[in-house]
Amino acid sequence: MIFVTLEHILTHISFSIISIVIIIHLMNLLVYEIEGLRNSSEKGMLATFFSITGFLVIRWISSGHFPLSNLYESLIFLSWSLSIIHMILNSLYP
């Protein structure tokens, strides 16, 4: 029961943070001079990555297998992978 609640909380946290990060990225496109926006969007992506990682680990523990058995888990894994790619490319090409 606690795993289900924790999954629910981590899913909502990651969705909320990534929504804010998208808005910050759009603001950064319009106003390039503000450096704090870029730093906060990088920190938001990092927080989202850790939230999705925690979600996948909890899902793995509660189900007993690697979380790729259905479409929902596969899409969460895809978003986790894309966040890794985004962070790597963002660090290589600032």
* pLDDT of the residue at 36: 74
Q: How far apart are CA 49 and CA 35, in angstroms?
A: 22
Q: In this predicted model, what pLDDT tens digit does every residue of 2-30 receive, in sequence order? A: 888 998 999 999 999 999 988 988 888 88
45 contacts: CB under 8 Å, gap ≥ 6? 18, 21, 83, 86, 87, 90
Q: Let me know how many helices (H) and strands (E) the chain has, helices first.
A: 3, 0
Q: In this predicted model, what pLDDT tens digit does every residue of 20-75 receive, in sequence order? A: 988 988 888 887 767 777 788 889 999 999 999 999 999 999 888 888 889 999 99
User: Residue 55: how many CB atoms within 10 A of its CB?
Assistant: 23
* pLDDT of the residue at 33: 67
1 pLDDT higher than 80: no
Residue whose entry in the numeric block shows the structure tokens 């929504």: 19
